[in-house]
Amino acid sequence: MKRYSFCPVCGAPYPGIGFAVERQNLHRCAACGFEFWQNSKPTVGALIVRTEGNRHFVLLTRRGIEPHRGMWDLPGGYLDNGEAPVDGLAREIREELGADIAEPRFLVAGIDEYPREDVAEEARFVLGLYYRCELVGTPILVPADDVTEAAWFPLENLPVDIGFAANRRALAALRTALETGASSTAG
């Protein structure tokens, strides 16, 4: 959990007056009463599937930013404050791929560590909500935003350099769902 030096509302110093840790995720300023909850940040990821015959392909993007710059990733990202997950998923796909999605179906959820070296926080944790979906029409694979490349990979032959453990678990859940016909799991 991030330790703060000053209250962001009244500026009271910590330690001393500043924040007291009342619960694992809660800081409360003793001077003004401001509460800061430190929770996992919600994210969405797209498992975009294309089927040719009996083979399934999944669309991956190459990360253009840290962490895991240059590694393969699932398209997606952080939800905006108050944004519904499916709306955020559609927004992220438009931002990263310039495309729209169809039939998003929840598949799996998982917690992952989002390491950051550019901030004082040791690590940020994310709650990833993964949806299986398809692209509308012919995809125009012109990556934008925080990706540098997009490519289709056979589900049975994915690259080894996939960033984030939760992405690898989501891809495994997709593989299982396609093999068994299952619709969703939690994790």
In the chain, domain spans: 1-38, 41-180
Structure confidence by residue, pLDDT tens digits, 9-22:
898 886 544 444 45
Nearest to 142 by CA among 130, 132, 150, 134: 150
Lowest mean pLDDT among 60-74, 97-111, 120-134: 120-134
Range 6-10, long-range pairs (CB < 8 A, 24+ positions): 7/31, 7/32, 7/34, 8/34, 8/36, 9/34, 10/34
Q: Are 147 and 73 in contact (CB under 8 A)?
A: yes
For 59, other C-beta atoms within 10 Å of its C-beta total 23
pLDDT at 3 over 90: no
Q: Are 173 and 185 in contact (CB under 8 A)?
A: yes
Q: Higher model confidence: residue 150 or residue 171?
A: 171
pLDDT-derived band at 2, boundaries 50, 70, 90: low
Q: H-helix or E-strand containing 72?
A: strand 72-73
pLDDT-derived band at 162, boundaries 50, 70, 90: very high
Residue 187 and residue 185: Cα distance in Å, rounded? 7
Position 5 scores a pLDDT of 77
Q: H-helix or E-strand containing 123?
A: strand 123-135
> Which residues 6+ apart lie within 8 Å of 73 measured at CB?
60, 61, 62, 63, 147, 162, 163, 164, 167
pLDDT-derived band at 147, boundaries 50, 70, 90: confident
Structure confidence by residue, pLDDT tens digits, 111-131:
998 876 655 554 578 999 999
> Which residues 6+ apart lie within 8 Å of 121 measured at CB?
2
Nearest to 161 by CA among 61, 50, 58, 57: 61
Position 30 scores a pLDDT of 83
pLDDT at 183 over 50: yes
Question: What is the pLDDT averaged over residues 100-107?
Answer: 95
Position 187 scores a pLDDT of 47
| Burial tier of 87 (Cβ tally within 10 Å: 0-12, 13-18, 19+) | middle
pLDDT-derived band at 139, boundaries 50, 70, 90: low
What's the chain's average pLDDT? 84
Fold of the CATH domain 41-180: Nucleoside Triphosphate Pyrophosphohydrolase (3.90.79)
pLDDT at 143 over 70: no
Amino acid residing at 88: G
